[in-house]
Structure 1
């Protein structure tokens, strides 16, 4: 899902001259492109193709939120996050959100609302993350993927805001989700709910 480039943006657009594959892994696909800059000069751009993902802001009836703690190898630390996961090829985004919430936390939701999309690392990845809200939760059995280890817990919005302020919560998608949550609860950003 990308915004169209208008004719008034032509002075900013870079044009691809060469496209070289650097790595094709199970999850990521890396390239180095040579581009023509708006001033006519050339530069290189290294970037990763990412299949996209979803994030779920799951709200319990008492207002608390379903959260996860998970070790993230690239940053070598345990991170506080909203439940999230990558899209499988051809997978519907809502179906992915439902699947990831159940697999990682054991929760199912009866109502879902699509909030928006975020691009967490626009300088070097095509990754997008669809933001979903879920309510009407019921707890069942988790179905973690092979090799997936995480703790599930609940927290209040005030706790999440304090952890963000104090630097304990630094995950970009979760910070964006918290912005959505804060604005939704204030009434500034309404959501359209659907029963599933």
Structure 2
């Protein structure tokens, strides 16, 4: 937290009295902890903990930003998103980001070429785990003009990346075309970083 933010009033914490695990699988663990509110009232609080840190990659290039049309089962429809996923056991976030980028878009980018943009929390009211944000300089085509081929995981459904200039992205935001919270947060960090100027003028 920066100096300006830390100068604001700080609300008292909700204190965890007892950890209560209610569900676990290979992706993460759901807790329904016993907590104590600032007023002294006892209650419960749901908390999801991913098995590893998350990563989201902002693909940028001459055409602006690349978004991946992704079918999301939870909303029953297609969502325009930046590539994202999770770190495997003991996997460095940059390595995970390069892997997820390749799997979901076909774009190759070595981990050392990724530019860290910051860390976000996808839903501070529920999800404990942090998400590392990276920018990746990529092109609309692969080597020798070949179109990159994505190799998503078995339970993923993605289509060919869609490129949008910053000007087009503004229109998407105004029309509600992009609603994924992780993508919107990563986009904000990328804009603050000056990424994805593309063919459009600065915002």
Give the shorter-chain TM-score range.
Answer: 0.7 to 0.9
- Distance of 2:86 and 2:36 partners within structure 1: 32
Give the superposed CA RMSD.
Answer: 2.5
Partner Cα distance (2:104, 2:19) in 1: 37
Distance 1:53 1:168, change over 3 A: same
What are the Cα deviations for residues 130-160 of structure 1, in whole angstroms up to 9, with x where unaligned?
1101115462442221232201222222222
Counterpart secondary structure, 2:129: coil
- What residue in structure 2 maps to residue 115 of structure 1? 117
Structure 2 gap ranges (5+): 143-147, 196-203
Tell me the number of residue pairs that the alignment of Structure 1 and Structure 2 aligns: 181
- The equivalent residue for 2:201 is none
Q: Is the 8 A contact 1:56 1:101 kept in 2?
A: yes
Quote the Cα distance in structure 1 between the aligned partners of 2:67 and 2:178.
Answer: 11
Evaluate the alpha carbon distance shift between residue 35 and residue 64 of structure 1 in structure 2; reply closer, same or farther with a 3 A threshold.
same
More displaced stretch, 91-100 vs 17-26? 17-26
Residue 65 of structure 2 is matched in structure 1 by 65
2-side partners of 1:136 and 1:174: how far apart?
18
Distance 1:40 1:153 in 2: 51
Q: 1:185 and 1:11, CA in 2 relative to 1: closer, same or farther beyond 3 A?
A: closer
User: Which one of the candidate residues 138, 151, 169 is aligned to 1:143?
Assistant: 151
Whether the 8 Å contact between 1:84 and 1:97 is mirrored in structure 2 is: yes
Which whole-Å CA distance do the structure 1 matches of 2:156 and 2:19 have between them? Answer: 34
Secondary structure of the residue that 1:108 maps to in structure 2?
coil
**Residues 121 and 127, structure 1, Cα contact 8 Å, conserved in 2:** no
DSSP-derived class of the 2:118 partner: strand
Q: Which aligned runs of 4 or more in structure 1 are off by greater than 4 angstroms?
A: 8-11
Structure 1 gaps of 5+ residues are: 187-196
Matches of residues 64-83 of structure 1 in structure 2 within 5 Å? 64-83=64-83
2:131 corresponds in structure 1 to: 129
- After TM superposition, give the deviation of residue 22 of structure 1 in Å: 1.1
1:26 partner SS: coil
TM-score by length of 2: 0.79
**Whose strand fraction is larger, Structure 1's or Structure 2's?**
1
CA displacement at 1:95 relative to structure 2: 0.2
Residue 9 of structure 1, CA deviation: 8.5
Correspondence list, 1:1-196, <5 A: 12-50=12-50, 51-60=52-61, 62-109=62-109, 111-137=113-139, 139=142, 140-151=148-159, 152-185=161-194
